[in-house]
Amino acid sequence: MSFNNMSSKWIQIMPMAAGQVKVAAGVANNAAWMVVLEAHDHIRNHPNYRHQVKRQFQQVLEQFHAYERGLIYADKNRMFRVADMGDKTRKIYGNITDREYYDFWTATGANVYTDTRLLVTSLQNKFRLVYEKHKFEHPNTLAWAYVGGACLTLAVQILKLTIDAVHDEYKIPSRACNEVFGQFLIDRIAKAWNEATRLLEPRAFGLELEDLEQKNINLGLQQIFDAWGDTSMHLEVTASTIADYDEVFRTKGEQKKARRGIIELMKELREEQENNDRERAKERLRHIATNNGIRTDTRLPAE
């Protein structure tokens, strides 16, 4: 199923579902990629970063660029084609290209990364302490490698949960959800990064953690997962990104209108949360995450 051959029923529903998936992917995927880029800057200084190891990490970068091109220049289920916008939506934006529209979307992830970088560096420090304790050389670099893989894996899980959520909410067939929204999944990129990390230092990849070490790392992973998967965070960062990107909007008035719309959604969400059992909602999210197989060992393979 694609946007081009949907019935009128799905044409009405899919834009709402696509909006939710695009926001979640914009935050989680692009925040994770910011972590990967920072990690790669450290990894390039590792003495093993040469030959096969270097090629494997370079392959990860190439795969991500291919993923970007696939989103921007998709032949079907197109999400970033300015020409595909409806008249009402097109009036909001100025004379922008598909790439500029895509960059505007990725900026949400960059902003989230900035807002949550302390959580990322805290997790990196937990890994570093483990590798120092076990007498590995270059523990700081190894820690960044594993944090990069962990964040890519978390992004995959967050998007899978989001796709499941729109499937449940809008009763969209699973096959259609996977076909339309599967283009946002970066599981192959995560798998390639984890393989590069294994090649960088094979002994670290199979390291058995003590209970307290595992508990500390699990806590760090959960904090990032909660932040990147939080709907309130998605809306807040979207509002701030709109405020930063005045050049993509047709007028200042359209920019302000778009931001007001997000702020109204934030207000509605807060009111809804106040009327619901928050603790039960959080417990349900943890339950779903656990049942969807978030890996919390040091290897964090993307299976």
CA distance 82 to 70: 15
CA distance 272 to 87: 31
pTM of the complete model: 0.85
Q: Phi-psi bin for 173: left (phi > 0), alpha (psi -120 to 50), beta?
A: beta
Q: What is the mean pLDDT of the chain?
A: 87
- Residues 58-71: tens digit of each pLDDT: 999 999 999 999 99
Number of alpha carbons in the 13 Å side-chain half-sphere of residue 168: 6
Q: Which range among 78-87, 106-115, 162-171 has the greatest average pLDDT?
A: 106-115
The residue assigned the tokens 């992830």 is 109
CA distance 133 to 52: 28
CA distance 36 to 46: 15
Task: Give the model's confidence band at 279: pLDDT under 50 very low, under 70 low, under 90 confident, else very high.
Answer: low
What residue type is 222 in one-letter code?
A: Q
Q: What is the mean pLDDT of residues 134-154?
A: 97
For residue 249, the cross-strand partners are 93
For residue 236, CA distances in Å to 18, 28, 119, 136, 239 come to 19, 14, 18, 40, 5
What is the SS3 assignment for 93? Answer: strand
Q: What is the mean pLDDT of residues 67-92?
A: 90
Note the helical H segments in 171-210: 174-181, 187-200, 202-205
194's CB contacts (< 8 A; 6+ apart) are 149, 153, 299, 300, 301, 302
Q: Which range among 43-57, 169-183, 249-263, 265-279 has the greatest average pLDDT?
A: 43-57
**What pLDDT is recorded for position 300?**
37
- Please determine, for residue 222, whether its predicted confidence score (pLDDT) is greater than 70: yes
Cβ proximity of 114 and 125 under 8 Å: no
Task: Give the model's confidence band at 268: pLDDT under 50 very low, under 70 low, under 90 confident, else very high.
Answer: confident
What is the rounded (10 degree) CA torsion for 116, 241, 18, 224? 0
Note the helical H segments in the chain: 8-43, 51-72, 87-90, 98-133, 139-170, 174-181, 187-200, 202-205, 211-228, 231-244, 252-275, 278-291
121's CB contacts (< 8 A; 6+ apart) are none
Token pair belonging to 48 = 């093993």
Cβ proximity of 127 and 298 under 8 Å: yes
